[in-house]
Amino acid sequence: MKKGLTFEKLGFIFTMILIILLPFHAFLTTSLTALVSGYSQDLLSKTSYFVACWKEILMVIMTLMIIIRSFIQKKLPFKILLIDYFILFLFVWALASAFIQSASLTQGILGIRFDFEFFFLYWIIRALNISQDNLKTILKTLFIVTSIVIILGFVQIFLSCDQMTIFGYTSYISSWVASKPLPCGHAVGVSDTIRMMSTFSGPNQLASYLIVAIMMAWYSLSKVLRTANAKIWMKYIYMVFIALSLTALYLTYSRGAMIALLVAFLCLLVLQATDTKKTFGYLVFGIVISILIFTANIVLSPERIDSTKEHFEKPLQGITMIIEKPWGYGIGMAGPVSMRFPADGSKALVSESWYLQIAQEFGVLGGLMFFLLLSYILRYLFQRQSNNTVLDEKEFLQTILSVYLGLLINNLFLHTWSSDMVTSLIFWSLFGIAVSFKHQDS
């Protein structure tokens, strides 16, 4: 048996558990809490907080294994990059903010969890050194799990609220409150049309996840199309998967996610284009389609006018608050965490933008540091895909770069990195795998 094989197997199993269970996290937490503690649509049992921590427990176990292995081997688990120094600096800043600025240490620690957990998972995945063969298995598993999620999504939009309460959901529509279980559904504006959310906590969360799944399926489809001895039926499976995923994305009615996916796909086309005219054509096409999506949303969905207004009004309120307190309100004092203190969400500071949330928490300087980190990661991925000569790895890096850019766009309209832990944890796991490719220059 090769040295380190057991650790690598355990690391792969850990990653697979996350890929399989994360998309069902909200549903399982809601249902198991109701099963263990009894159902109440007006009060969320504290059991839910313990059930929801399964992923953190896994991360702690793997972190301890990595630390022990590093001590035995007397070396760091991976080479420290500038990205890692950036993250470490911001983490120390967050710790100071939690003790000094946050209303309570609990709120501060929870803020750190929401703002940094995906970075910690990125470090863990890097240390595991996932192989190319294991990556193929991970992606196939992702497609199978996503297919199940989509099927359940089609079931969910036809279930009544009374039927949803069987699984622990409330009978309320479009009204998430931290002190209560998840609502049975979310409507399109003031209409009776129910948005698809499947096993996720909401339609926007499902939409963000589908961006990752669709782009990874496109990467896998591209591999099949250029592989001479590939099984021909595989391409049809990927095509059907992409078609179903696009349908599910449409049924979430998430405008930001639709634009984000378009940006991601166009970015991939530009990266792989060899003709300057084609590149320019792709960009013009993307701009035109984005304008059409935005216009069609206003014309065809007048019932969502109030929601559209909020996407303008709340960011403006957030900017005003940043101007009033440019040094920040403290970590956990804005965004999804602020909706839990108090539990009725009466003091929530939600700006409808992750970037504004970070500036509200860390101040203008902290927000700028986060922006520099995200920009550097964009540059890093671009350089890596440019320098990589292994075709499979190069295309995977290009796909990760494209998804990353798409999710950055999505964060303009939502709090994707902090409120959608499923998408952020899965994406940053894939990012960690991409960074650990051995064929890249360090």
Q: Residue 410: which residues within 8 A CB-CB, separation 6 or more?
A: 208, 211, 256, 257, 259, 260, 416
Instruction: Please list the pLDDT of the chain residue by residue as tens digits (442 residues).
Output: 455 457 888 999 999 999 999 999 999 999 998 888 777 766 677 778 788 899 999 999 999 999 999 999 999 999 999 999 999 999 998 888 888 887 788 888 889 999 999 999 999 999 998 988 899 999 999 999 999 999 999 999 999 999 999 999 998 887 777 778 899 999 987 778 899 999 999 999 999 999 999 999 999 999 888 876 777 788 899 999 999 999 999 999 998 899 899 999 989 988 988 776 766 676 777 677 766 766 665 555 555 555 666 667 788 888 999 999 999 988 988 888 888 876 666 677 888 899 999 999 999 999 999 999 999 999 999 999 999 888 889 999 999 999 999 999 999 988 899 878 899 999 999 999 999 986 444 3
Q: Are 360 and 318 in contact (CB under 8 A)?
A: yes
pLDDT value of position 310: 67
Nearest to 205 by CA among 18, 385, 96, 213: 213
DSSP string, 125-178: HHHHT--HHHHHHHHHHHHHHHHHHHHHHHHHTTS-HHHHGGGT--S-BS---T
Instruction: Return the bridge partners of 214, or none.
Output: none
Contact 329, 361 (CB under 8 A): yes
Residue 166, both tokens? 């069987």
Residue showing tokens 């590093």 = 70
Q: What angle do CA 298, 303, 307 make, to 5 degrees?
A: 75
pLDDT score of 185: 92
Question: What is the pLDDT, as a whole number, of residue 36?
Answer: 84
157-172 burial code (b ≥16 CB/10 A, e <16): bebebeebbebbbbeb
Spatial CB neighbours of 191, under 8 Å, sequence gap ≥ 6: 303
Give the model's pLDDT for residue 116. Answer: 94
The helix (run of H) or strand (run of E) holding residue 431 is: helix 421-435
Residue whose C-alpha is closest to residue 58's, from 7, 123, 111, 124: 124
Contact yes or no for 192/303 (Cβ under 8 A): no
| pLDDT the model gives residue 439 | 43
pLDDT of residue 354: 92
Distance CA 138, CA 436 (A): 15
Instruction: Choose among 195, 185, 190, 194: nearest CA to 161.
Output: 185
- Supply the angle between the helices 391-413 and 354-387 in degrees, to the nearest 10: 170
**Structure tokens that stand for 414 in this block:** 């939502």
Q: Tell me the per-residue pLDDT of 292-317, one tens digit each, with 9 for 90 and over.
A: 766 665 555 555 555 666 667 788 88
Q: How does pLDDT run across 356-378, given as a tens digit for each residue?
A: 999 999 999 999 999 999 999 99
How far is 176 from 191, CA to CA, in rounded Å? 18
pTM, two decimals, is: 0.91
Q: What angle do CA 147, 233, 141 make, to 5 degrees?
A: 35
> Are residues 423 and 118 in contact, defined by beta-carbon separation less than 8 angstroms?
no
Report the alpha-carbon distance of residue 188 to residue 168 in Å, rounded. 22
Cis, bond preceding 342 (omega within 30 deg of 0): yes
What is the structure's pLDDT at 5?
57
Beta strands in 22-109 (DSSP E): none
The distance from CA 76 to its chain's CA centroid, rounded to whole angstroms, is 28
Report how far residue 2's alpha carbon sits from residue 12's, in angstroms, rounded to the nearest whole number.
16
Neighbours of 64 (CB within 10 A): 10
